[in-house]
Structure 1
């Protein structure tokens, strides 16, 4: 059973937090998380990574139960199989896709998602598991000239995080061109995907 919780900004409110805990369904002090900050390269992006980790610690998750993976070397499934959550932070979506491919972490995420555990995405981390990351093109710089923008395809919808009303024209144009359903998410919303069934959490 594939379980995805795709957000713009992480545990942005109590409903998203409650959903997070409900899916994992074990005492907070026992929850073990793989935390992936790789997409964050600028000072501002790194600041949000620190905020995301603080949210987890404030929730009661133990520091020792959070393993940081920077994706600077190949990853094996054995490194993640004993964890409950893969939590992928935001940043540059193109860089993130490049790094997960280079390290084989794309295949690890797909395998992990088949084991009835939770994939939690923040911004770029949410876009990553969609059929395509092309939705990031108006917002992130593709400074690696990636041409294959195929995502991990763990859901058949495309999320557009950080949605604001002034982006409506951009998103509407993208919807017209896309063969997939496009779900805009504000900073206070998340998309829950359980075995292909989707629900907005806000």
Structure 2
């Protein structure tokens, strides 16, 4: 199993993502955590502020969007699409909406199989990292579990993908508008005695087989030369 879980965007250790890929360059970008935002606003944001495909391209990774809504009720077709890529990159947004998309498309079952076969890398930030945990309990402090978009089931899914055995709290003590909510989520998980890992923006969790490593923020020169 190979995982790259970031608090914000690629974080400060993208060179490690390249190493995880072992020469692979094909990526599918999943942005369903943003489906509650109107399409026009999303296109404007991607064109003027942040495009995950462009960020990956800066590191030599060729990315195309994979919309899980196109595969609702079609898990076999989704598995065929995922068989052609080296990296699934799941962006931030609403973790509960993303989790619904993963359930309705069958992604949540397929990704476990592909990771056990070491067929690809699962990576993501914010919501994309959060759903790797066993549960989304506490994340409702940061994301609205009732957030919906057209075509989505309204049942809240509380279980995560269980790719790691701890919860993940992004934007912890960071210069981000969700930092205060992240503090509250951490307090909740501490009181609940739930294993968790808070992530500051820039930090990344790497999983290789059974090895789990928290990567701190490195200076730019060290990142590019590593």
Please, which of 107, 125, 144 is the counterpart of residue 128 of structure 2?
125
TM-score calculated relative to the size of structure 1: 0.85
1:22 aligned onto 2:16: no
Partner Cα distance (1:86, 1:134) in 2: 24
Larger Rg: 2
Map Cα deviations across residues 7-56 of structure 1 (whole Å, 9 max, x no partner). 0112222xx11110111121xxx501111011113347983794322111
SS in 2 for 1:183: strand
Contact 2:142 2:185 in 1 (8 A): no
Is 1:182 the equivalent of 2:196?
yes
1:67 maps onto 2:58 in alignment: no
The TM-score with structure 2 as length reference comes to 0.76
- The Cα of 1:169 is off from its aligned counterpart by 4.8
Task: Give the superposed CA RMSD.
Answer: 2.3
Q: By how many angstroms is 1:114 displaced?
A: 1.4
Match of 1:168 among 183, 186, 203: 183
Contact 2:29–2:52, Cα closer than 8 Å, also in 1 = no
Match for residue 58 of structure 1? 58
What stretches of structure 2 of length at least 5 have no aligned partner? 148-153, 175-179, 217-226
User: CA 1:163–1:18 in 2, change beyond 3 Å: closer, same or farther?
Assistant: same
Question: Against the structure 1 CA distance between its residues 55 and 79, is the aligned structure 2 distance closer, same or farther, given a 3 Å change threshold?
Answer: same
Flag the 1:133–1:19 CA change in 2: closer, same or farther, 3 A.
Answer: same
For the residues of structure 1 that align with 2:30 and 2:159, how far apart are their CA atoms? 20
Which of 192, 197, 201 is the aligned partner of 2:211? Answer: 197
Q: CA deviation at 1:147?
A: 4.2
Note closer, same or farther for the CA distance 1:46–1:3 as it changes in structure 2 (3 Å cut): farther
Equivalent pairs, count: 192
Residue 136 of structure 1: aligned partner: 139
Match of 2:111 in 1: 109
Corresponding residue to 1:39 among 30, 33, 40: 33
- Does the 8 Å CA contact 1:94/1:146 hold for their aligned counterparts? no
Change (3 A) 1:162 1:177: same
- The alpha-carbon deviation at position 184 of structure 1 amounts to 0.3
